[in-house]
């Protein structure tokens, strides 16, 4: 598909918007907008959570059944997109830590979306562009 078709009026603005909205998760636009988070699906997040919980359970079992001086190291959670700045929190293995990191990720995502909305506001469309888009 040639994007110049939109300029040549062979491709409607509505069709172009639909094509952009439904780009695949691994497209260059999604990677640019969402960074590494675009590579992670819900399944990937659930799998990482399952691995973290299994590692914590194994660590707890080993801790309870080992001698006092022979305690194993706590497990390191699976790194997730956006967790690079939270290296200090990765040493904790309690269930509350995972919930805290999820809420921190959500807050960071909301901040990034708000910042992007404030800095890259597109100019208002002209009446001719609106007429072309809607009709």
**Shared-domain flag, residues 27 and 72:** no
Domain carrying residue 66: 40-117
Q: Tokens in use for 120? A: 């890259």
Q: What's the domain count of the chain?
A: 2
In a domain, 122, yes or no: no
**Shared-domain flag, residues 23 and 70:** no
CA dist 15 → 30, 54, 133 (Å): 18, 46, 9
From first to last of the 135 residues of the chain, give the pLDDT tens digit.
788 888 888 889 999 899 888 888 888 888 888 887 777 888 888 999 999 999 999 999 999 998 888 888 999 999 988 776 544 444 444 444 444 444 445 444 444 444 444 455 567 777 777 777 776
**Shared-domain flag, residues 30 and 96:** no
**Shared-domain flag, residues 51 and 99:** yes
- Tell me how far apart the alpha carbons of residues 75 and 110 are, in angstroms, rounded to a whole number: 29
**Shared-domain flag, residues 3 and 56:** no
């Amino acid at each position: 598909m040639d994007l110049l078709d939109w300029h040549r009026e062979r491709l409607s603005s509505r069709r172009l918007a639909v094509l952009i909205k439904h780009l695949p998760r691994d497209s260059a636009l999604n990677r640019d907008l969402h960074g590494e988070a675009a590579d992670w699906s819900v399944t990937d997040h659930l799998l990482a959570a399952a691995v973290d919980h299994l590692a914590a359970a194994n660590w707890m079992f080993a801790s309870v059944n080992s001698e006092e001086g022979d305690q194993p190291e706590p497990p390191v959670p699976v790194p997730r997109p956006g967790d690079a700045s939270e290296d200090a929190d990765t040493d904790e293995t309690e269930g509350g830590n995972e919930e805290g990191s999820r809420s921190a990720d959500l807050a960071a995502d909301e901040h990034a979306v708000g910042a992007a909305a404030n800095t890259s506001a597109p100019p208002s469309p002209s009446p001719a562009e609106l007429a072309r888009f809607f009709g």
